Chain A
Amino acid sequence: MNSILYYPGCGVADQARSMETAARGALGALGWEMEEMERWNCCGTVYSLATDDLMRHVGPARILARVQDAGHEHLLTLCSMCYSTLKRSERFLTEERDRLDRVNAFLDDEPDYTGGVRVVHLLELVRDEIGYEAVEEAVQRPLSGLKVSPYYGCTLTRPRAVGVDDPERPRVLEDLLLALGAEPVSSPQGVECCGAYLTASAPEVARRRAGAIARAAARGGADLMVTSCPLCQYNLDTRQGEAPGASAHAVPSLYFTQLLALALGADPAVDEQVIDPRPVLAARGLAVEVKA
């Protein structure tokens, strides 16, 4: 069994435990174990663009320092936003010695962070470490005939320097879906923002965006969408129903970890969504039992 240190992040730990449970099941089937950090704090969620506001990097730096202190080199994330914030912060701090020194001076209740922790998204782990061939071999329940529209959102691939894939023409979800036996249905909306940033201040924008993304997926013939971020997932799942004229083309969405777990026979829970994905799964011969 391989093991990797894992950072859940607040969204996963609170509303999106199903994303994590599915990831654990799937990775277990692939011979990997996620070891949750003993103590962790919020990554900061939104990466600060102010270059002189080092306080915003204290949270990520504390996480990285603890990873290093625990003797680990890699840190696994599931949430796209946590991934992006942690990875960008790691780069920003280690780019200039002075920044690191100043943050370390503030973090005098932690061991110094010296740089070098590699933040890894689960999609990268699967692609680069485990490999799609191994995934294909481990598939127990091929997702044959299931048409899936990958939804990348913003932070998984942007900015280019830290993204897991090309921001404009990403493939990582498509390739994974292929390995699972599903049929990827790429959508022009797949790399556009879902509006989650505005879900509290301007919900009508989020509704409009969610509706547009769902319609594009439906036009491509997708049964469902996959996401890699609790915020995108929440937005697509709950806001598209609120969009004008939405009910005609409600497209369920799932975390990629849930489809991965389903194909690997790890039996994920998929009953937390507002738009129930079970009918479309059942229609493709992938009935999932409701868990107590």
Chain B
Amino acid sequence: MADAYPRSMRESIGRVEATRPERMEVEPQRLSLEERREVLDSFHPDYKEGGKRKLLVGPSRGEFVPHEMADLLEAYPLIDPDQVDLGQVDHEVDVLIIGGGGAGTVAALSAHEAGIPADRILITTKLRHGDSNSMMAQGGIQAADKEHDSPPIHYLDVLGGGHFGNDPQLVRALVNDAPEVIRWHEKLGVMYDKDTDGRMLTIHGGGTSRKRMHSAKDYTGLEIMRVVRDEALSRGIRCLEFCPTVELIRDDQGQVCGAVLWNLETEEYTVVRAKATVLATGGWGRLHIQGFPTSNHYGATADGLVLAYRAGAGLRDLDSVQYHPTGAAFPEQIVGLLITEKVRGMGAQPLNVDGALFVHPLEPRDVESGAFIRECSSPEQGGRGNGVVTPTGMVGIWLDTPMVDIIHGPGTFKRELSAIWRMYARFDIDPATDPVLTYPTLHYQNGGVVIDATGATAVPGLFAGGEVSGGIHGKNRLMGNSLLDFNVFGRRAGIAAAEWARQAKPGRPTLEHAANYAQELQGAGVDRERKAPSVLPEYRGERTLARMVDLI
């Protein structure tokens, strides 16, 4: 069989192999806080000039967000409020959950456990139930449940990773609920990796001070999502699929009391009335901020931020974007897809073209990504120019994946990291014997809608959980805290929504807030053609788009 790697890359692999014995003997050095700062300031895309702008309108006016996000926040409603008849109600429920990923499904189960009957809960989602970044999370979920660990130790790790910009109350909720979440999963039948006595097999993630990363092979998110979705099905909780939300409905007192959905296939709108609404729409990876490839789900288009912002909810920390250091950089077909941090957790080191280790493998993600970019950038850009160049001109960093089997025994990579193994095997690359090439990929929305520790937003009747919300991770999320986040805050939002629904007295439903927002935009001189939410990213060929006409 022909070598999957071209000669120049193969030669560099030779150098990786040559330095391996020596590298295996030495414990890598961690960066000091000052060194971390320097890497971030000089090389992390967040700190690059010109990537962001101040918001012109809305509750977070004046705050910096990436242009790609600002274009959606400063945009007119997709649906004309005058075209919608709110009097024709299609679904009337106690708790509406927008988003059928991890946070939404956990919120639904939690609202149910808090006493809302299954037929008074409705999940709505843009694509299929379960379609989400939750499903794609590979490496693990953090929880301080071992004897030498504790929620306070976890707390400090979260803050340090987030550069101390996190909301302390949210972090506290995150770390304190974590063991209970894992226990809940265990009872629902999530197959965590355990030893024969039932002890959880846990490893480090970037920026953790204790080995608290729980996993289900490298399909941790898939396994959790499959189980919670199956549980929702077994309880008879309904999910409306292929129905993105295009506007929230507020009543005359400013409470959110439902949503307008739009059927992607029949193109009709649907009105849902609800006493409480949970926003669980996920993040923004598919905005391809600064042109980066992304590891995210097709539906990750920040719709929830747009809806919540128009309805009056504040946003935070959207100036910070998480780039996962190890997105695939070769072959071309899989560029941007994720190689879980668990691979580094199990010993694989990042190396430059000469096979040299240039950064500790497990710095927090933003620092690690910054260091990758520094190593790959040319000296003219202030970088070191030590990246590996692919035939299509991508530059990347080796991830020395064969170290996993050398450290943990032959067969480990294929068994424990089967998703990654499979992804490369399709292209005749065996990561157990050859390193793989990586480059940072747009991975996570660190910030989002402002919530309190119960999951409530500033808008009465509107709750949020999961990636759509902000404050938990500050300016940078650690590995294993997103699966945890959607469980903890999905659950809290579901419970809070159930409680709210019990006493809520919705008034007259209106879309006035959307109309008012449009007026504000007009006042600020925003182009009328710009509309949001975007619902789906645009990947059609340019030629097709240029010739497209709407005839029938």
- In the complex, A touching B (Cβ < 8 A): no
Q: Which residues of A contact B (CB under 8 A)?
A: none
